[in-house]
Amino acid sequence: MSYLPDAPLTNQNNPSNQSLSDQFRDLLKKIGSGIHTAKSLSREEAATATVLMLTEAATPAQIGAFMIAHRIKRPTPTELAGMLDTYDALGPHLSEIDAPYPVTVFCNPYDGRSRTAPITPLTALIMVAAGAPVVMAGGDRMPTKMGLPTAEIWQGLGLNWPALTIDQVQTVLAQTGLGFVYQPVHFPQAQAMVPYREQIGKRPTLATVEIMWSPYIGQSNLVSGYVHPPTEARTQDAFTQRGTSFFTTVKGLEGSCDIARDRTGIIGLNHLQAGTLETERLLLHPRDYGFHGSDPEITPLAELLAYYQAAFTGQPNEVSRSAVWNSGFYLWRVGRVDSLAAGFELSESLLTNNAVKDKLYEIRAAIDEAA
């Protein structure tokens, strides 16, 4: 069942003959009328509001006001489900590929990292070298955090995803097992909302949607990172309403999908069975597997890439240790290996025998050919 209105961008079938901005104003009044009288939107209303924002049918003043009001009110799982409906309807899609394991979709915050080194790109390369496909999405440095985004790391590794159309990304994903959706090129409607973030000085609800949205249409393990426990509960509820059958929630570094090494990993293994969510809480202790240590701090991009390059040649460092820790878990999660220990062992071997470096070159060649 779709909760997205059939024609939210016209005035047809609108008995009150409201303009689109008037329709949006009514939704804004509903969430922004104050702590005692504000009401939450239905799933359809949330989908409509998101359409009107992403297409900029609402006025700039209305969009900014909605972002602030919704942040203060806090989104409900039903509202998040509706917003995700719109992202599915307006956003780019990567079709299902022939793969022996569910595609891992890493939903990291688009505004990047400012305290800890991003590990997910190296994790992804290890996984695809093991035959377990990965899809990611993101953009450039984004307010308000302006942290190091995944896109810059891919560019530094020679993977020029912005040069590709979404159909070309699909081709590379099918050939190599890795795909990256670059928001400024592949989802311009969402990109148009970025300036509002700087103008209001706060993360809007769309930042939460980004760590929940998957562009991949097919069997997947959707991984959603978070910082605050209420975010996990909202994610689980929203995914249940949307029928997302297999997903993982991670209390990751800076809200990312990167599992920490300096503390116990708090992970939700979620399965939807006959409409009922079954969640297993996994407490992953790094010390139990020999991975306890400090999480690598953020460094200038050139220095981070040097750590990556050292890992590709089998030279261990703290960045590569974190990537083995993460990829070992995620390989186990999708069934590539039978145990966590086997996942860690496989991940480390793929770095030391140059398989990850070879995979990087293969992906680079596929992107160059597709472009």
Per-residue confidence at 5, pLDDT binned at 50, 70, 90? low
Structural domain of residue 102, as residue ranges?
A: 94-356
Report which residue type is found at 84: L
- Rounded CA-CA distance 50/27 in Å is 11
Looking at 90, 118, 143, which one is the last position of a domain? 90
pLDDT at 7: 44
pLDDT at 34: 81
Taken in order 90, 196, 144, 65, the sign of the CA dihedral is negative
pLDDT at 3: 58
Same domain, 27 and 174: no
User: Which residue has tokens 């990993």?
Assistant: 265
Per-residue confidence at 8, pLDDT binned at 50, 70, 90? very low
pLDDT at 62: 97
Domain count, the chain: 2
Same domain, 304 and 259: yes
Average pLDDT rounded to a whole number, residues 355-368: 98
Per-residue confidence at 2, pLDDT binned at 50, 70, 90? low
Average pLDDT rounded to a whole number, residues 91-113: 98
Q: Which residue has the higher pLDDT, 144 or 17?
A: 144
Mean pLDDT of the chain: 95
Same domain, 126 and 157: yes
Looking at 90, 114, 131, which one is the last position of a domain? 90
pLDDT in tens, 219-271: 999 999 999 999 999 999 999 999 999 999 999 999 999 999 999 999 999 99
Same domain, 77 and 110: no
pLDDT in tens, 142-191: 999 999 999 999 999 999 999 999 999 999 999 999 999 999 999 999 99
Helices (H), the chain: 20-31, 43-54, 60-73, 77-90, 120-129, 150-156, 166-176, 183-186, 188-191, 194-200, 205-210, 229-242, 301-312, 318-333, 340-352, 355-370
- How do 178-182 and 134-138 pair as beta strands? parallel
pLDDT in tens, 56-98: 999 999 999 999 999 999 999 999 999 999 999 999 999 999 9
Same domain, 287 and 184: yes
Q: Please check whether residue 3 lies inside any domain of the structure.
A: no
DSSP string, 67-100: HHHHHHH---HHHHHHHHHHHHHHS--EE----S
Q: In this model, does residue 199 exceed pLDDT 60? A: yes
pLDDT at 264: 98
Q: Please check whether residue 10 lies inside any domain of the structure.
A: no
Structure tokens at 308: 């990556």
Exposure string (b/e) for 285-314, b if CB count within 10 Å is 16 or more?
ebeebebeeebbebeeeeebbebbeebbeb
Same domain, 105 and 82: no
Q: In this model, does residue 333 exceed pLDDT 90? A: yes
Q: Please check whether residue 6 lies inside any domain of the structure.
A: no
User: For position 112, which CATH number holds?
Assistant: 3.40.1030.10
Same domain, 218 and 175: yes
